[in-house]
Structure 1
Amino acid sequence: MNILQSKTKEVSQSLIPIVIFVAILGLTFIPIDIPVMQRFFVGAFLVFAGLSIFLWGVDQSMEPIGYHMAREIATSKSLIKTILLSFILGFLITIAEPDILILGDQVESASGGTLDAGFLVTMISVGVGVLISIASIRILSNFKYNVMMTLVYLVILVLGTQVSEEFLAISFDASGATTGALTTPFVLAISVGLSRTKGGKTAEEDSFGMVGAMSAGPILAVMLISVLTGQQNIHGETVEFVTSTEVWSPIFSAMQYTLIESLKALAPIAALFFVFNFFKFKVKRKELVRIVRGLVYTIIGLTLFLVGANEGFMDMGRILGMGLADRYLEMLPVFGLLLGMMVVLAEPAVHVLGEQVEDVTAGNIPITVLKGTLSIGVGIAIALSMVKIMTPQVQLWFFLLPGFVIAIILSYFVDPIFVGIAFDAGGVASGPMSATFVLAFAQGVADSIPTADVLRDGFGIIAMIAMTPVLSIMILGSINKIQTMRSKHISEDVAPVDRKEICAIASDQISGEQKDLIFCVVERGYTEDVIALARSAGSTGATILHGRDARAGTWLSKSMQLQPEKEVIWFLVDANITLAVSQTLLDALDKQNSHIVSIFALPVIDSYGLTANENVFQTTDNVIGKNEVNS
C-alpha cells in the first residue's frame, strides 16, 4: 500500500498544476460551459486514479517481467535468439503503451482516417522492436553508445529530407510518446538486467541509454511509411471537433470498449512471460501471484486512464487552445511558456533524473539547477511551438535539426554515462501530460489559426518537449567536464611529493600503531584485480566503496572528492606489512596501462577511529599535497 501512496503522490504532483491552469483560464480568460468543465474534472479524476493504479501495477508486473526476460536475452548463446526476443519484447510492450494509443487516435482523427491508428501503432511498435534489438546487441558487444546514436540519427537525417513536414512532425511526436509510463520502466528493467548479467567495467554506463535508443525507432518507422508508400502528404478531411454537452454518458459509453482494448494490448506480453515461465523461469509462487495481481491492476488502471484522457481531459486541452488562439493570439507564446514550466516542475521523474545527474557529477550539478534548466527549456520549447503554429514560414526542423546535431556533437565530449542518461531523459518531460493535454492544446491552437494546419502544425510539440532534456543534460555534462578539467589543471600546480617517499612516510606515521588503512582509488570494474595484487603481498580483507555511494561524502573528507566512475578499496592491514602492500600497489601504479588512480595511507587510532596522514597522496599524474585529492 505504501507503493500505491507513492504513485498517487507522483501522479497528483503532475496533474494538479494542469487542473489549476485550466481552472484559472476557465474563470478568467476563456468562458467554458459548466457541463464541459464538470466532465473535465471527472476526466481528471479518472486520469489520476487510473494512472496511479496503472503505475502500481507496472511496478508489480512489468518491471519483474522485464528483468526476467532481460536475463533470458543476456544468457542466450544464439545471436538470432537475442535479436528475435529483443524485438518481440519491444514490439509487444510498445503496442500496449497508453501514450502511443492516444497518439494513434489523435493522428487518425486529424487525418480524417487516412492514417489508421492501428496501422500507425503497429509500425511504431516495429520500429521500437528493431531499435531495442540493436541496443541489446550494443550492450552485449560493448559497442560505443554515442557512435550508435550518431549512425541512427544520420539515417534519420537522410530520411527526413525525403518526407513532408506532416510526417516529420508525427514521427518525432511518436518518438516522444513512446517513452511513456509502461515502456520506460519495462525497457529500463531490460537494460539494467542486461548490463548486470553481462557485468564488466561498463556495466553502469550500459544500464542507461536503451530508452533513448528505442525512441529513435518510431521516427524511422513513420518516415519509412512515407518513403516506402510514396505518400508525401496526408490527404483527408479532418474530423470536426464537437464538444458533448453530456457529463457521464460519454464516459460510461467508452468504458467497455476501452477495457476490451486494454486487454488486447496487454495480453500478448503477459502470454509471452507465462510461456517462458512455464518452460524456463519457474518463478516462485509468491512472485508469480504478485505479477498476476500487478497485471490486473495494470489493466484496470490503463482502462481508467484512457477513458479519462479521451473523454474529458483532452477535450479541455483542445477547447483552451482554440479559445486562446481566438482571443489572445499574440499571448500564445507566453501561455505556452507557463504551461511548459508547470508541466516539467511537477513531473516526479524530473526529480529522479536530477538525483542521477547530481550523483554522476559528484554534486557539481545539483537537482535545483537541472530542474530549473529543464523547466525553462521545456517552457521555451512549447513557446517556440506556438510561434511555429502562428508563423507558416517557421518549420519544425528549424528547431529539431540544430538541437539534435548539437547533442550528438556534445556526446563525444561529455563522459559516456551522461550520453545514456541524456537520451533516456527525453522521455522524462514527454510523459502522459504531454501526450494528452499539451498535444490537445496545440491541436486546438492549430485548428483556430487560418494559416495553420492541424496535421502539420498541431503535431511536433511532443518532439520539441522531448528534445529539451537531451540537449540540456548534454550541456550540463559539458559544464561538468570543463569544471573537472579546471580542477585537474589547478591540482597540477601543487608541489609533488617524491613518489618513493610514500611508503616510508606511511611507515613512520604508524609507529606504535597495530593497524594501518591503505586507500586505493581505482577505475570502476577493476577492483578484483587490485584486491588480488594486495593479497599477494599479505593483505587479507578489503572494503569497496563506489563513487555514487552516499557514504562517500560522509566517510571521506570534503576536500577528497571521489568521482562517480571510480571506486575506493580499503585495506586494513597489520603495520608490519604496510610497506609490502603499498610497494606492490605502487609498482602496479607505475605501469603504463594501470587502472589504479591513487594510493594513500591512514593510520588507525583506537580512541578516535581513523586519522588521515595529510601528506601522503599519490596519483597517476602527480602527487597532491595537504588535503587535496582529485581522483
Structure 2
Amino acid sequence: MISLANTLDVFASTVMDVFPIAVVLFVFQSVVLRRPIRHLSSVLVGFLLVILGLALFLVGLEAALFPLGETMAMQLTTPEFLQQMRLSSVGLLQWFDYYWVYAFAFCLGFSTTIAEPSLIAVAIKANQVSGGSIKVNGLRLAVALGVAIGITLGCYRIVAGDPIHYYIIAGYALVIIQTYFSPPMIIPLAYDSGGVTTSTVTVPLVTALGLGLASTVPDRSPLIDGFGLIAFASLFPIITVMAYAQITRWLNRHRPIKKENSNEI
C-alpha cells in the first residue's frame, strides 16, 4: 500500500543519495576548473526532476514491479500449475516441466533490457561516436537477446540446482575466445554492455524472479540459489554483442555492398 509517509521517506532518501553527486560536480566546476556553471537555474531544475523521478520510480518499484516479478515466478512454479501443464506424464517434476518459467524469463529479460534507459543512452552515444557504423537498434537488440538468454539459462540453473561457477567460467572462457576474433571497435562496447543492463529496470525484476523461483522449486534455497541471475544478465550481453559484430562483419564480406558501408555493425 502506497502511503504519503512512505513516499516522503523515499524522496528524502533519494535526496541524500543524489546530494554527494551534486557536491562533486559543483565543487570540481567551481574549485578545480574555476569556471561558472552555465545555465545554473536549468541545472538546478534538472537535479530536482532527477530526484523526483527517481523517488517516484522507487515507490513504484516497491509497490508494483518487485512484487509482480516474484508473484509471477511463484505462480508459474506452483505444483498445481505444473501438474496441469507438465510435459512428462509420470514421476517427479523434471527440468523441462518448467518450460513456462523459461519462456517468462526470456520475455522478461528481453523486454526489460529494451526499455533500459542506460542502454538507450549508451547505444545513442556509440552511434554518434562511430559515425553511424554502430546502429542503435542493432546494439539494443543484441544486448536484449543476451540478457534474455542469460536469464533463461540462469532459471534453468536454479531448477536443476547446478553450481553457478561452472556456467560463469564457461561463459567467460567463451568471452576470451570471442575477444580474440572480434573487431577491435566493438570489444570495449561489448564489455560495457554487460554493465548497463544491470540498472534500474532490469535488476529488481530479475532479482524478484530468482528469489520467487528458488522459494518454490523443491530443495532450493533462496539465499544460495535465488541470487546469481544478475551475473548471467551481465555476462551474456558481452557474448551476443561480439557475436553480432562478428556475424555482421562476415555478412559484409560475403555480399556485394558499397565500400563505405562495409564497416557498419
Q: What TM-score do you get using the length of structure 1 for normalisation?
A: 0.35
Q: Is the 8 A contact 1:322 1:448 kept in 2?
A: yes
Deviations along 1:40-89, whole A, 9 cap, x unmatched? xxxxxxxxxxxxxxxxxxxxxxxxxxxxxxxxxxxxxxxxxxxxxxxxxx
Q: In the superposition, relative to structure 1, how do residues 261 and 430 fare at CA in structure 2: closer, same or farther (>3 Å)?
A: same
Equivalent residue, structure 1, for 2:258: 559
C-alpha change, 1:321 and 1:486, in structure 2 (3 Å) is closer
Larger Rg, first or second structure (1 or 2): 1
CA distance in structure 1 between the aligned counterparts of 2:143 and 2:25, rounded to whole angstroms: 37
Say which of 390, 401, 423 aligns to 2:169: 401
- Superposed counterparts of 1:517-596, under 5 Å: 559-561=258-260
Q: Deviations over 1:258-281 (max 9, x none)?
A: 223222222222223333333243
Who is 1:309 aligned against? 61
Q: Match of 1:479, as an amino acid?
A: I
Identical-pair percentage: 25
1:470 aligned to 2:169? no
- Check if 1:266 corresponds to 2:35: no
Q: CA deviation at 1:464?
A: 1.0
Distance 2:109 2:245 in 1: 23
Whole-Å Cα distance in 1 between the matches of residues 70 and 143 of structure 2?
25
Tell me the residue number matched to 2:39.
287
Pairwise CA distance, 1:293: 2.2
Contact 2:66 2:205 survives alignment (8 Å)? yes
Q: Given that residues 215 and 221 in structure 2 are in contact (C-alpha distance below 8 angstroms), is that contact kept between their aligned partners in structure 1?
A: yes
Give the unaligned 5+ runs of structure 2.
83-96
Q: What is the distance in 2 between the residues matched to 1:362 and 1:296?
A: 33
* 1:376 shift after superposition: 3.9
Picking from 96, 104, 109, the partner of 1:335 is 104
The answer to whether the aligner puts 1:353 opposite 2:123 as a matched pair is: yes
Match of 2:204 in 1: 436
Quote the residue 2:227 is aligned against.
459
Q: 1:361 to 1:267 in 2, by over 3 A?
A: closer
**Displacement, 1:346?**
4.1
More helix by share: 2
Residue 422 of structure 1 pairs with residue 185 of structure 2:
no
Decide whether aligned partners of structure 1 residues 343 and 298 sit closer, same or farther in structure 2, where only a CA change above 3 A counts. closer
2:123–2:135 CA contact under 8 A, matched in 1: no
Partner in structure 1 of residue 91 of structure 2: none
Match of 1:377 among 139, 146, 151: 146
Q: What one-letter code is carried by the residue in structure 1 that aligns with 2:51?
A: I
Residue 380 (structure 1) shift: 2.5
Q: Deviations over 1:372-417 (max 9, x none)?
A: 544443322222222111112x122232222222212322332322
Could you tell me whether the CA contact under 8 Å between 1:361 and 1:563 is conserved in 2? Answer: no
Distance of aligned partners of 1:260 and 1:376 in 2 relative to their CA distance in 1, 3 Å threshold: closer
User: Would the aligned equivalents of 2:116 and 2:200 in 1 still touch at CA under 8 Å?
Assistant: no
- Give the equivalent residue in structure 1 for 2:94: none
Amino acid at match of 2:103: V
RMSD of aligned residue pairs (Cα, Å)? 3.4
CA contact under 8 A between 2:116 and 2:201: conserved in structure 1? Answer: no
Structure 1 unpaired stretches of 5+: 1-246, 491-557, 566-631
Residue identity opposite 2:165 in structure 1: W
CA gap of 1:347–1:285, structure 2 versus 1, over 3 A, is: closer
Q: Go from structure 1 to structure 2 and tell me whether the alpha carbon gap of 1:315 and 1:293 turns closer, same or farther (over 3 Å shift).
A: same
* Contact 1:354–1:371 (Cα < 8 Å) also in 2: no
1:514-561 Cα distance to aligned partner (Å, 9 max, x none): xxxxxxxxxxxxxxxxxxxxxxxxxxxxxxxxxxxxxxxxxxxx7332
Taking a change above 3 Å as real, the CA distance of residues 338 and 276 of structure 1, as seen in their structure-2 partners, is: closer
CA displacement 1:22-48 (0-9 Å, x = unmatched): xxxxxxxxxxxxxxxxxxxxxxxxxxx
CA distance in 2, matches of 1:297, 1:435: 23
| Superposition deviation, residue 472 in structure 1 | 0.8
CA pair 286-404 structure 1, distance change in 2 beyond 3 A: same
Contact 1:426 1:470 in 2 (8 A): yes
How many Å separate the matches in 1 of 2:30 and 2:193?
A: 36
CA distance in 1: counterparts of 2:67 and 2:196, whole angstroms = 24
**1:342-367 C-alpha deviation (Å, 9 max, x unpaired):** 3234446359638947995976x866
Alignment size in residue pairs = 246
SS of the residue aligned with 1:278? helix
Cα 1:294/1:345, change in 2 over 3 Å: closer
Q: Give the 3-state SS of the residue equivalent to 2:30 in structure 1.
A: helix
Relative to its length, the structure with more strand (as a share) is 1
Q: Match of 2:241, as an amino acid?
A: I
Residues 362 and 563 in structure 1, CA contact (< 8 A), matched pair in contact too: no
Q: Which residue identity does 1:353 align to in structure 2?
A: A
